[in-house]
Amino acid sequence: MSENEQDKRLEETAGEEPAKEEKSGREAYEWVQALVCSVLAVVVLFTFVIRLIGVDGYSMVPTLQDGDRLLVTTSLLSGEYRYGDIVIIQKGTFADGDPIVKRVIATEGQTVDIDFANGIVYVDGEALGEPYINEPTYTDEGTEFPLTVPEGSIFVMGDNRNRSDDSRNAELGTVDTRYVIGRAVFLLFPGADEATGKRNFGRIGLIGGVEA
């Protein structure tokens, strides 16, 4: 190989190295950019769209167990709350400000009355069938009935009626929907069953409402 050919070859090799470094740097920048965008998307998703909430206590037995992990759609996606929805509420002046999980029994404009002697709940004068409850509603917690739910509010109770602190308690009463974090839509991981102490993984799945 002549001297001129050697010089030309060296020039070509020297030109390839900066090009490779530039390509490698561009790829690294694009990878970091994609990673940052993905992290931001996850943060936004779990801040404004969905939340992961754990059930604490037995107030929703038999529907939910202590330790259940729920996927919750926030109020941005939930829309109007309806009878039968399972919702997560957080009010600073109640339950030490911790989130509580309850079922919607009545919405704005509806009138709730409870016959505690017979354990029957009435909404707008009609007795609810309530196939989801653990036992009839015998426990009076201080709220006066009949009660008409104010605009922008809901009346909630736990399915385990005689072990639930809910809208029957005058300290909570009807709940302004601004205190509602969202609606439970999916059971991601089951807690141990109160009766058996075992986890039933067959419970994993969608959490439906109740037909009115």
| Percentage of residues of the chain with pLDDT beyond 90 | 69
pLDDT, position 199:
96
**Furthest C-alpha separation in the chain:** 109
Catalytic amino acids?
59, 102
17 to 3, 20, 24, 26, 28: CA distances (angstroms): 22, 5, 11, 14, 17
CA atoms within 13 A on the CB side of 39: 6
- The model's pLDDT over 16-50, given as tens digits with 9 standing for 90+, comes to 555 555 666 677 766 766 666 555 555 555 555 68
Q: What number is the average pLDDT over the span 198-204?
A: 95
115 to 62, 88, 133, 136: CA distances (angstroms): 22, 26, 15, 10
pLDDT, position 108:
97
- The model's pLDDT over 77-87, given as tens digits with 9 standing for 90+, comes to 667 899 999 99
Place 10 in a pLDDT band, splitting at 50, 70 and 90. very low
82 to 62, 69, 85, 159, 167: CA distances (angstroms): 20, 22, 6, 16, 16
- pTM for this predicted structure: 0.79
105 to 43, 95, 124, 159: CA distances (angstroms): 33, 20, 11, 10
